[in-house]
Structure formats: structure tokens, C-alpha cells
Amino acid sequence: MCLFVQRRALFSLSRRIAKRIPLLSKKSSFENMMMMSDRKNMIMSDRTSPRSMDGVGPTGTTRGSAESCTLLVVGDVHNQWGDEDETAIEFLDPDMVIFVGDIGNEDVDLVQRIGSCTRYRKVVVLGNHDAWYSLTSRGKQRAIKAALQSSSLKRISGNRDGVVESLTALGDCHIGYSSMVADDLGLVFAGARPFSKGGMHWGTVAEFYKKYYNVDSMEDSMSKILESVLDEKNAEHALVVVAHNGPTGLGSRQEDPCGVDFMEPADDFGDPDLEEALEVAASCGRCASLVLFGHMHHTLKKGGYRNMVSVDGDHGTVYLNAAVVPRTKNVPYTNTMIQNNDDDTTEMATSRHFVKVTMSRGVVQEASNIWVTVPQPCDVSSCHISESQLIVKRSTDAMDESTLSYYKAHSDEWEHVRVL
């Protein structure tokens, strides 16, 4: 059954993209996709009924999941990272820190700092800015222009490869097209397509994905995501999918989690390969409890706020966009340790944004936007949560039926979804 669903999804993905982009390459034909699917079929050939995986329930939760754990999601960094963030993480003490990419403009030094930090446990999926000079022909033109304007840009000159250096610095922490198992949390973190810039177009990034991942098309990318999601070794744990850009299917209005707000008309700018991979996995009984991403910033170009959360009640999946940008701000801080004529001294401190997600037995219980104020000098004992905004909340009634409520920032209201 899963093989049939997979082939149907491949055809659906090709048809959907072809309808939007008529000039797709011939490699996107259904016949060629069937040839590409041979590799994917290997990971699905031993599966039986959609609910037959040991320990996996109808919404992808597992009996082996931890009673409770805390995930801390770092939205698009855009070079805003330093001692304050590491101190804030130590203060919050999460079980796992999740970076959804755009650390900087191919800023290898900053990626190396994050990769080498041992103060917290982490998984990372890099974003399009992390291949700023390498992802597209336009990016290569940026590199040439920048090199001509500066004599000291080591990272974009000579024989150095910023993408390779970044991936090497992160090692196994980078889970693009791969996965990481956290046995103690009862979770598996599966990575979607790394370095995604969003949308249906493949041609502008084809050379990049062929070079670094040997991926030839959107359909081939879907198959690589499926390999991570449907890996039999991970089946006993609840599934958390980490991406830079979210999937298509969450809405085509500019205020939707992956909606286009930078051009007209508004459209769905999600990743179609990720949507199809999630749908195929769900048809095989492997539903994600949580899908985390960034890329599409929380403030809209024409004003207002993006809806950063969506919920699929049928599968119990929470989709969460963590890209609050900028993620740092200066705030007044009253230092009670310094006295001046018996008055407290007001100084300036920085506040750093994170999304805190609480999970229990493999399902999301709640999520909040939090801002942690970190005075100077950085010290855990001086940190405090200056702002906290609940954005997801699970409730259970007397019949043990669950409802997921989530905040819609664009309309400043709550949506309530019964979870099957």
C-alpha cells in the first residue's frame, strides 16, 4: 500500500509543479520519477499496513517517548549570535536546541562557533543565507562583487568552500537530508532539504544540489527526505521534522506560515518536496508530531504579522515557524546590585528570542515565544524571561479527547482544532 501511495505522490508532485512551472526539465517526467523511486522503494518494501510499525500510534507518537522534554528553537539568526545567546540557553536549560538556519551570509566563523559550542545539545538545518555566495548564479555574482570591493574576504576567495566548511564544522549536528536519534527524549529529528530558498523553482538551485547532495530534482529531493523520515531504525521514536523553509499546503495568503509577502500576487512559497514527503509518510503511518522551520519572517512587508503556527488535526501535527527577525533587541534593565544615592541604576541589556516547545510522550503540549534578557557581563544568575507569549496549547477533556489551540498573529485570535 505504501508503495502505491508513494508512486501516486510522485506523480502528484510532478503534476503540481508542472502546472505552476511549465518549463520543467524532462527529468521531472513520470517515467523518470519511477526510475528514481527504485532507491526509495528499498526503504519501504518491507512495510506492511500503515499502522503496523511497532510502537507507533495513529498520530506518529510512540510508547517509548519521554514523559516530558523541552525543545528550544532558534529562528533565523542572521548574524545575531554571541555570548548572550549561549548564556540564555544555559539559563533556560533545554533538552535540545534546534537551529532552523540562516545563521549568516555564508558566515563560516559563526557556524563554527555554534558547531563547536559544548554548552548545549543541538541539531541544525542550514538555510539559503548559509550558502549566500554558493547557492545560485546570483550568489556567485555577489561573491565576485564582494571580492572586488575587499581584499580580506577569505571565505569567498581562493579555493575555500564555505558550504563544505560549514557542514564540516557542524558534523553530525547538521541533519539536512539525514536524522539524529535522541533515545533519552524518545524523539528522532529528521532533516528536510537544507539551504532551501523556498518556492517551486528548481532550475536556479539545480547545480548546487547536484554538486553537494547528488540530488537532481524536486522529486529526488522528496525521496531523500523520505529516507530520513521512514528509516526503520527510528520507528520507535516520535518524529520531529526540522527544515529551513516549511512545506507547501499551509496556505497561499501572505500572512500564512509560508505565504509570499514580497511579491504580487500572494502565493504559497513552501517546499513541495517536504509536503509530499510528509503526506507519503503519514499514509504509511509515520506522522510528524512537530514540523519546525523558519525562512519566512514574522513581520510582513506591507505591515502586520504572519501567522506562525498551523495545526493538522487529522495527523496531530503542529507546524511552527520560528523566524522572529530580528531576534535581538535592546531593553532597559534595572541593576539592583549597583546603588547610587539609594536608587537602582537603569542600564541597557539585550533580549534574545527563542521558541520554547514542551512535549510529553511524543506530542506537543505547548509552545511559547520567549525573550530572555541577558545583562552584561553575561551571567546565568542575572538572566530572566522578560516576555513570554503562549502560541500553542493542548487541552484534554473528560473523554480524553485532545484539542490543540494556536495563536494567529495576523488577526490576533485563537484557532481551536480537535486532534484525532
Helices 2-20 & 272-283, crossing angle to 10 degrees?
160
Residue 401: per-residue pLDDT: 87
pLDDT tens column, 307-359: 999 999 999 999 999 999 999 999 888 765 544 555 556 788 899 999 999 99
| DSSP track, 254-318 | TTSTTB--SSSS--B-SBHHHHHHHHHHHHTT--EEEEEE-SS-SB-TTSSB---EEEETTTTEE
Predicted model pTM: 0.84
Q: How far apart are the first and last CA of the chain?
A: 22
Query: What is the number of residues in the chain?
Result: 420
Compare 150 and 378 and report the one with higher pLDDT.
378
CA-closest candidate to residue 419, choices 397, 391, 387: 397
| Percent over 70 (pLDDT), the chain | 77
Would you tell me which CATH number, out of the four given (3.60.21, 3.40.190, 1.10.3470, 3.40.50), belongs to the domain 68-419? 3.60.21
Residue 12: per-residue pLDDT: 59
pLDDT, mean over the chain: 84
pLDDT tens column, 245-283: 999 999 999 999 999 998 889 999 999 999 999 999 999
How would residue 232 be classed by pLDDT, with cut points 50, 70 and 90?
Answer: confident
C-alpha cell at 86: 549561549
How would residue 30 be classed by pLDDT, with cut points 50, 70 and 90?
Answer: very low
308-343: b or e for each residue (b if 16 or more CB lie within 10 Å)? Answer: bbbbbeebbbbbbbbbbbebbeeeebeeeeeeeeee
CA angle 311, 316, 321 (to 5 degrees): 40
Averaged pLDDT for residues 48-59:
34
Residue 135: per-residue pLDDT: 86
The ranges assigned to domains in the chain are 68-419
Averaged pLDDT for residues 272-296:
96
Residue 136: per-residue pLDDT: 76
